[in-house]
C-alpha cells in the first residue's frame, strides 16, 4: 500500500490512488501530496466516511435551501435537477494561477482583435490568414452586425475559458466561451456550499474571495455617465432556459434588473425597458441570450424571444452590449487551429498559453497529419461551437487499415467542414464517490471581465468533473458534477462583499423601476398563493366535518360544492389535483421573478409544493386529510410571513400585495355569497366564520347566536377584521393609490377609480343590504380590477 511505505512528504488519504500516467491535482508524480493540498488531504485522511458524509450533507443542504438547480433536457421534456456539486474543492496555488491569468488575458485581447477584424475590415481574410469559407459559411457570423462599431469601444466584456491540465502539467485552453458565458453564478453558489462543507479550512487557508470580481464588474457597468436607475439590464431567454436559475441569481446578487426580450422596446434608435411607469431608456445590456435570437427583424426571423429593432438600436449607437451581437463566431472550433498563427499577426506576440492542438482539414498537409495518427485525434464539425466534451460528434477516429482508407476519402471530400483535435488526457482531481475519494478528470472554467477597460479574472472558477475515468464523460448533462475552485494565497481577512464601499457620501439610491412583466408575475404570484390558502381552508373545513360527522355532514358539503367548483377541488381525495395545480402555478410564477423574490420565500414555496405532491399520494379523506391540510396551512403562513414581514415595501411588494388582497376579497365574497344563504343546512354560517379564520372574534363580538347578519357584518363589512372584504378593499385602495401615476393631472386613472368606487359602495353598505346577489356583483367588480391593472401597468 502506498501510504504504508511513507517516505518523505505527506501521503494521500488511504485508498486514493491517481490513475497511471495521468497527472493528479492533489497527488504529485512521486506519490506525495502537493503542498497546497496538504491541509485538505490531512483533514480527509483523518476523517471516517460518516464525517465526510456530513460535510457533503452540509453543502447539499445549502444548495437545497437556496433552490439551486439546472434544467436538464430529455426527449421532449425538461426537468429541474438538483445542482450536482462535488464538495471537495479543486485547489490551485497562487504561483500556478499567476502564470495562468496573463495567458488568458492575452487570449482575451486576441479574441477582441479577431472580433474587431471579423466585424470590421476583414483584413485577416484578405491577407490570407484566415480562409474566407470558414467565416462566410459560419452561421454565427452575423452579416447585419458587420460594420457596426461597439458603443463602448469594445466588442467583448465578459468571457470564459474552459481549460484543462495536460500530461506535462501545463494548462491548455480547451474552448473559448464568448457568446454569453454561463457558470459565474454557479461558481458563487458552489463557493458558498463548499465553504459550508469545509468551513474551518476555508476560514484558515486564505482562499481568494470572489465578491470583489463581481463588485468591480458591476461598478464598471454602472460607470459614471450612467445614473444607475435600472439602466443596466441582464437579458435572459426566460425561465425555460437551462441556466435561468443562474441569470436570476446573478441579477439578484449584482443588483441588476432581469429582463426578457419582450420587456424591451426600441424607439427612435434607443432601447427602452417597459416598466410600470412607462418606457425607461437602457444604457447597457448584459445578454445571456444567444445573438441570433436577439432581434427577429434583422437576425433570426423565427425568434419569439427577441426584441424587434435591437440591431437598429446598436447601429444608432449609444447602447453597450455585453458581449456584442455576433460574438458567438469566436467559439467556432476551427478557429482554434488559427489562433496560434493569428496571435503574432494581431498582437505581435506568440500565444502565452497553448490551446488544444487543432487542425482544420481544409488543407492537404493537415489531412495528412491526421491520417498519420488517427487514434490520437477527435473529429468534429469545423463550425461546431460546443465544448469539446459536450459534442457527441467529437468521437475518436476509427482505427485499422480499412477505416483509415475510408477516412482518407471522407477527409478529402469534406475536409473543409471538419476539424481534428488532439485527444487530451486531462488531469484528475479527488471527488467523493460513494463516500470514497476517487480521481476523476476535470476541466476548469475561468472568467474574465473587462473592468474600466482592463481584463480582470475571477480568482476562482467552476470545475467540471467527469462521471467516470473517461475524460469524454465530463459534460454535466451526462452525469458529471461540478466543484468549487480555491485559488490560494489571498490576503487574510479579505472579505469583500457587494455592499457599497464606505467611501464618499452615502446616498440612498432611487428604487429601480419595476419591469411591467415582473409586476404582472408578482401580482399573479400574490393571487395564486392566496388562492391556494383559501382552497386549503375550504378543503380542511370539509374534511373536518367528514371526520366528525361522517354521513351527517353530506347535506352541508353538497351545499358548498359550488364553492369547491370555484377552486377546482373536490373532497373525494385528500389532496385533490386542483390544489396541486394552483400550487404549481404559484411556483411557476415565482420562478419567473426569482430575481425579485427572496430565496427563503422561494424555498418555502417550493417546499410546500413538494410536500403537497407527496401528501397527494397517500393522504385519505377525513381526519387524515384534515391534519395534512392543517400542516400545509401552517407552511403557507410561513411563506406569507417571509414575504410580507421581510420584503422591502417596493413596487414589487405592492403588486404582490395587491394580488393577494384582490384574491382574498374575491374569495370571501364567494364564501359569503354561498354560505350566508338562509336556506342552507345548519352549520353553513359556522363554516363561513371558520373559513374566515374569525371564530374567536365572532364569539367575542356577537354574544348571540350566529346569524347571517352577524357573519356578513364581521366577514364582509368590518374593516378591522383582516379577513373581511372591507379590509381588503381598503388595502387595495391604499396600495393602488401608491402605484406609479395612479392619478393623471389630479384625476384617478382607471384602476384607482374602480377601487375607489367599490370602496365607497362597501363603506355605505349594511349587512342586510349585502345579499347573495350583491356579493356576487361585488365579487365580479373586484375581479375586474385585474383588467384595469393589466391595461395600466402590465402591458
Q: Which residue ranges make up the site for other proteins (CB under 8 A)?
A: 122, 125-128, 132-133, 135-137, 143-144, 146-147, 266-269, 296-298, 301, 308-309, 312, 315
Q: How far is the CB of 294 from other proteins (least distance, A)?
A: 14
Alpha helices in 693-784 (DSSP H): 695-701, 708-712, 725-737, 750-763, 772-783
Spatial CA neighbour of 701 closest among 681, 680, 731, 724? 724
Contacts of 788 (CB under 8 A, 6+ apart): 750, 751, 754
Of residues 315 and 753, the one with the C-beta less far from other proteins:
315
Of residues 10 and 120, the one with the C-beta less far from other proteins:
120
Of residues 299 and 739, the one with the C-beta less far from other proteins:
299
Q: How far is the CB of 148 from other proteins (least distance, A)?
A: 10
Q: How far is the CB of 420 from other proteins (least distance, A)?
A: 21
Contacts of 744 (CB under 8 A, 6+ apart): none
Of residues 298 and 713, the one with the C-beta less far from other proteins:
298
Q: How far is the CB of 136 from other proteins (least distance, A)?
A: 4
CA 782 – CA 716 distance, rounded (Å) = 13
Q: How far is CA 139 from CA 300, 313, 336, in A?
A: 11, 22, 17
Q: How many other CB atoms sit within 10 Å of the CB of residue 147?
A: 10
CA 708 – CA 717 distance, rounded (Å) = 13
Of residues 296 and 667, the one with the C-beta less far from other proteins:
296
Q: How far is the CB of 302 from other proteins (least distance, A)?
A: 9
Q: How many CA atoms lie within 13 A of 496 on its CB side?
A: 15
Q: How far is the CB of 131 from other proteins (least distance, A)?
A: 9
Alpha helices in 47-183 (DSSP H): 49-66, 94-118, 123-126, 132-136
Of residues 302 and 499, the one with the C-beta less far from other proteins:
302
Of residues 95 and 146, the one with the C-beta less far from other proteins:
146
Q: How far is the CB of 129 from other proteins (least distance, A)?
A: 9
Helices first, then strands: H and E counts in the chain: 27, 23
Of residues 116 and 125, the one with the C-beta less far from other proteins:
125
CB-based burial label for 569 (10 Å; 0-12, 13-18, 19+): buried
78 and 72 in contact (C-beta within 8 Å)? Answer: yes
Q: How far is the CB of 137 from other proteins (least distance, A)?
A: 4
Q: How far is the CB of 380 from other proteins (least distance, A)?
A: 17
Output Rg (C-alpha) for the chain, integer angstroms.
31
Of residues 81 and 143, the one with the C-beta less far from other proteins:
143
Q: How far is the CB of 130 from other proteins (least distance, A)?
A: 9
Of residues 135 and 666, the one with the C-beta less far from other proteins:
135
Q: How far is the CB of 141 from other proteins (least distance, A)?
A: 9
Of residues 312 and 765, the one with the C-beta less far from other proteins:
312
Q: How far is the CB of 128 from other proteins (least distance, A)?
A: 5
CA 318 – CA 310 distance, rounded (Å) = 12
Helix (H) or strand (E) holding 624: helix 623-646
Torsion angle in degrees (nearest 10) through CA of 491, 492, 497, 502: -90
Spatial CA neighbour of 250 closest among 213, 304, 276? 213
Of residues 137 and 203, the one with the C-beta less far from other proteins:
137
Q: How many Å is the maximal CA-CA distance in the chain?
A: 101
Of residues 78 and 127, the one with the C-beta less far from other proteins:
127
Q: What secondary structure does DSSP assign to 663-701, as a single string?
A: HHHHHHHHHHHHHT-TTSPTTHHHHHHHHTT-HHHHHHH
Contacts of 599 (CB under 8 A, 6+ apart): 65, 66, 67
Q: How far is the CB of 381 from other proteins (least distance, A)?
A: 12
Spatial CA neighbour of 786 closest among 541, 559, 531, 613? 531
Q: What are φ and ψ of residue 360, in 5° steps?
A: -85, 125
Which set of grid coordinates corresponds to residue 434? 460513494
Amino acid at each position: 500500500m502506498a501510504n504504508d511505505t511513507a517516505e518523505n512528504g505527506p501521503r494521500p488519504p488511504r485508498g486514493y490512488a491517481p490513475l497511471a500516467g495521468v497527472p493528479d491535482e492533489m497527488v504529485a508524480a512521486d506519490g506525495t501530496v502537493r503542498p497546497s493540498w496538504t491541509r485538505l488531504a490531512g483533514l480527509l485522511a483523518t476523517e471516517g466516511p460518516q464525517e465526510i458524509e456530513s460535510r457533503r450533507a452540509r453543502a447539499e443542504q445549502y444548495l437545497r435551501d437556496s433552490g439551486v438547480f439546472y434544467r436538464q433536457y430529455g426527449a421532449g421534456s425538461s426537468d429541474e435537477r438538483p445542482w450536482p456539486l462535488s464538495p471537495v474543492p479543486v485547489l490551485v496555488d497562487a504561483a500556478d494561477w499567476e502564470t495562468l491569468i496573463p495567458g488568458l488575458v492575452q487570449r482575451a485581447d486576441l479574441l477582441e482583435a479577431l472580433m474587431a477584424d471579423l466585424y470590421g475590415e476583414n483584413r485577416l481574410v484578405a491577407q490570407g490568414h484566415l480562409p474566407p469559407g470558414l467565416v462566410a459559411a459560419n452561421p454565427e457570423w452575423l452579416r447585419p452586425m458587420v460594420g457596426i462599431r461597439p458603443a463602448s469601444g469594445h466588442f467583448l466584456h465578459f468571457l470564459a475559458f474552459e481549460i484543462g491540465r495536460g500530461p506535462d502539467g501545463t494548462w491548455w485552453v480547451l474552448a473559448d466561451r464568448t457568446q454569453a458565458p454561463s457558470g459565474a453564478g454557479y461558481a458563487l453558489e458552489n463557493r458558498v456550499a463548499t465553504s459550508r462543507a469545509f468551513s474551518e479550512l476555508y476560514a484558515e487557508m486564505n482562499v481568494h474571495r470572489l465578491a470583489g470580481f463581481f463588485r468591480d464588474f458591476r461598478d464598471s457597468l454602472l460607470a459614471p455617465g450612467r445614473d444607475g436607475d435600472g439602466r443596466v439590464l441582464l437579458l435572459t431567454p426566460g425561465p425555460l432556459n437551462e441556466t435561468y436559475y443562474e441569470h436570476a441569481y446573478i441579477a439578484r446578487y449584482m443588483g441588476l434588473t432581469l429582463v426578457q426580450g419582450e420587456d424591451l422596446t426600441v424607439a427612435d434608435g434607443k432601447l427602452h425597458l417597459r416598466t410600470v411607469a412607462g418606457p425607461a431608456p437602457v444604457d447597457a445590456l448584459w445578454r445571456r441570450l444567444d445573438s441570433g435570437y436577439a432581434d427577429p427583424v434583422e437576425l433570426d426571423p423565427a425568434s419569439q424571444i427577441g426584441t424587434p429593432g435591437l440591431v437598429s438600436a446598436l447601429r444608432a449607437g449609444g447602447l453597450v452590449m455585453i458581449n456584442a451581437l455576433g460574438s458567438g463566431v469566436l467559439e467556432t472550433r476551427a478557429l482554434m487551429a488559427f489562433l496560434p498563427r493569428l496571435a503574432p499577426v494581431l498582437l505581435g506576440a506568440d500565444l502565452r498559453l497553448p490551446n488544444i492542438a487543432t487542425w482544420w482539414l481544409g488543407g492537404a498537409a493537415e489531412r495528412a497529419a491526421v491520417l498519420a495518427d488517427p487514434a490520437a485525434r477527435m473529429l468534429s464539425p469545423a463550425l461546431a461551437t460546443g465544448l469539446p466534451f459536450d459534442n457527441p460528434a467529437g468521437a475518436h477516429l476509427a482505427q485499422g487499415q480499412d477505416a483509415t482508407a475510408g477516412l482518407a476519402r471522407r477527409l478529402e471530400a469534406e475536409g473543409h467542414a471538419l476539424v481534428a483535435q488532439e485527444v487530451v488526457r486531462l488531469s484528475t482531481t479527488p471527488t467523493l464517490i460513494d463516500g470514497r475519494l476517487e480521481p476523476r478528470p476535470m476541466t476548469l472554467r475561468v472568467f474574465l471581465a473587462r473592468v474600466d477597460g482592463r481584463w480582470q479574472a475571477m480568482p476562482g472558477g467552476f470545475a467540471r468533473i467527469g462521471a467516470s475515468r473517461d475524460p469524454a464523460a465530463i459534460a454535466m448533462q451526462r452525469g458529471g458534477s461540478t466543484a468549487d475552485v480555491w485559488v490560494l494565497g489571498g490576503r487574510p481577512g479579505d472579505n469583500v462583499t457587494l455592499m457599497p464601499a464606505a467611501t464618499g457620501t452615502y446616498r440612498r439610491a432611487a428604487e429601480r423601476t419595476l419591469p411591467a412583466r415582473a409586476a404582472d408575475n408578482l401580482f399573479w404570484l400574490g393571487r395564486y398563493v392566496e388562492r391556494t390558502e383559501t382552497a386549503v381552508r375550504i378543503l380542511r373545513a370539509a374534511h373536518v366535518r367528514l371526520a366528525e360527522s361522517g354521513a351527517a355532514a353530506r347535506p352541508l358539503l353538497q351545499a358548498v360544492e359550488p364553492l369547491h367548483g370555484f377552486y377546482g377541488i373536490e373532497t373525494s381525495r385528500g389532496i385533490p389535483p386542483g390544489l396541486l395545480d394552483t400550487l404549481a402555478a404559484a411556483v411557476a410564477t415565482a420562478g419567473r421573478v426569482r430575481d425579485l423574490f427572496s430565496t427563503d420565500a422561494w424555498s418555502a414555496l417550493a417546499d410546500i409544493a413538494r410536500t403537497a405532491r407527496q401528501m397527494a399520494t397517500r393522504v385519505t379523506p377525513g381526519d387524515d386529510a384534515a391534519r395534512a391540510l392543517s400542516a400545509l396551512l401552517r407552511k403557507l403562513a410561513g411563506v406569507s410571513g417571509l414575504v410580507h414581514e421581510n420584503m422591502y415595501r417596493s413596487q414589487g411588494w405592492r403588486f404582490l400585495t395587491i394580488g393577494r388582497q384582490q384574491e382574498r376579497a374575491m374569495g370571501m365574497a364567494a364564501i359569503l355569497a354561498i354560505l350566508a344563504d338562509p336556506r342552507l343546512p345548519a352549520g353553513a354560517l359556522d363554516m363561513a366564520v371558520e373559513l374566515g379564520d374569525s371564530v374567536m372574534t365572532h364569539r367575542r363580538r356577537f354574544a348571540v347566536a350566529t346569524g347571517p347578519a352577524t357573519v356578513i357584518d364581521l366577514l364582509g363589512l368590518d374593516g378591522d377584521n383582516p379577513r373581511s372584504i372591507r379590509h381588503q378593499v381598503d388595502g387595495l385602495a391604499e396600495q393602488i393609490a401608491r402605484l406609479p401615476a395612479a392619478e393623471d393631472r389630479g384625476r384617478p386613472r382607471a384602476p384607482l377609480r374602480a377601487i375607489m368606487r367599490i370602496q365607497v359602495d362597501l363603506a355605505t353598505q349594511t349587512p342586510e343590504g349585502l345579499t347573495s346577489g350583491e356579493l356576487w356583483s361585488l365579487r365580479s367588480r373586484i375581479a375586474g380590477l385585474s383588467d384595469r391593472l393589466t391595461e395600466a401597468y402590465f402591458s
